[in-house]
Amino acid sequence: MKRNLYIGIDGGATKTKVRIEDADGCLLTEAQSGPGTIRTNVSKAWYAIIDGIQTALHKIDLDLYDQTHHYHVGLGLAGTEVAESCEEFLSQAHPFASIALKSDAYTACLGAHQGKEGGIIIIGTGTIGLKIEKGVVTTVGGWGFPHDDEGSGAWLGMEAIRLTLESIDHRREPSDFSKAIFRHFKKDLDHMVTWSNQALPTHFAELAPIVVEYVKRKNPDAIHLVERAGVAIARTYDALVKQSTLPKLPVSLLGGLSHSIEPWLPKRIRTRCKPPQGDATQGAILMIKKSEGFIV
């Protein structure tokens, strides 16, 4: 009889994370590979996923194509809001015994609350709020950039460019922060403008660490940006809670920028947020085990 292994995939805009557990929930191996979002390129995402799984399996002397194992894969991928991408993804041939696909936000929520009811707000390149209650998923935000995603890394980077351009053409006073952004482009205005006109959300998000750095240095321009981000995230939080039937919906803040924005949230929210109990790869494993009937 074949042995069942459970693979959790967290596929985002910049990287794919892989976690492999046995039937008892013991971690066997982990790995990382390239971008796993299906928003733009489904084949590239599949390649990154297969590549990451192979890397993880080789660490424990297994192979995706051996005949001694059943591999069950839970996939939490960015870009699942694009219906055609999901269809295309699921229509591909694959070597797995079973697969289940949801958004990376969904599996992050499952992981954060170990499959129990609760909500999350992810503050990364983009930002989204999501809660799961009685199996029903509710999302707030995450509709895309630049018309949504306020408070995200992409938004912080775009606003940093905006105020730097304004300081260059005399619409506002320059500050140490706007000067630092300009230095990032080697004080080459043509370069900065061309870059901005072609920048994807992930590119704008690369500037977020400069914002965070100048918040630490108490620069008023940078502080004003994280204050605005805090207001946006607070509204996402309130929208999740407003739609909840739980007296105290547990909410976790996730994503690379969550620690930088958290201090700028109202105290009532800061004191209510709880640390995540697991990550999106663990959530993806919970999902595939559930969909295969191994857990209820």
CB closer to a second copy, 44 vs 203: 203
Per CB under 8 A, does 147 bind a second copy? yes
Binding a second copy (rule: CB under 8 A), the pick from 133, 206, 238, 292 is: 238
The angle subtended at Cα 151 by Cα 259 and Cα 237, nearest 5°, is: 75
CB closer to a second copy, 159 vs 279: 159
Of residues 23-42, those binding a second copy (CB under 8 A): none
Secondary structure E strands in 67-219: 69-77, 98-103, 118-123, 127-133, 136-141
CB 184 within 8 A of CB 207: yes
CB closer to a second copy, 236 vs 281: 236
The least distance separating a second copy from the CB of residue 260, rounded to whole angstroms, comes to 21
The least distance separating a second copy from the CB of residue 40, rounded to whole angstroms, comes to 11
E strand or H helix at 19, and its extent? strand 16-22
CB closer to a second copy, 15 vs 39: 39
Residues binding a second copy: number (CB under 8 A): 34
Of residues 176-235, those binding a second copy (CB under 8 A): 190, 193-194, 196-197, 199, 204, 235
Exposed (0-12), middle (13-18) or buried (19+): which is 263, by Cβ within 10 Å? exposed
Per CB under 8 A, does 236 bind a second copy? yes
Supply 290's token pair. 């559930």
Per CB under 8 A, does 170 bind a second copy? yes
Q: Dihedral (C-alpha) 219, 223, 226, 230: value to the nearest 10 degrees?
A: 160
As a whole number of Å, the CA-based R_g of the chain is: 21
Binding a second copy (rule: CB under 8 A), the pick from 88, 117, 133, 148 is: 148
Buried b (16+ CB within 10 A) or exposed e, 143-159: eebeeebbbbbbbbbbb
Binding a second copy (rule: CB under 8 A), the pick from 139, 178, 260, 282 is: 139
Q: Is 125 helix (H, G, I), strand (E, B) or coil?
A: coil
Tell me phi and psi for residue 10, to 5 degrees: -115, 100
Binding a second copy (rule: CB under 8 A), the pick from 10, 21, 104, 150 is: 150
Give the residue from 43, 46, 18, 12 showing the smallest Cα distance to 32: 18
CB closer to a second copy, 81 vs 292: 81
Query: Stretches 24-32, 46-54, 81-89, 215-223: which one binds a second copy (CB under 8 A)?
Result: 81-89
- List residues near a second copy by CB under 8 A: 81-83, 139-141, 143-144, 146-148, 150, 158, 161-162, 165-166, 169-172, 190, 193-194, 196-197, 199, 204, 235-236, 238-239, 242-243
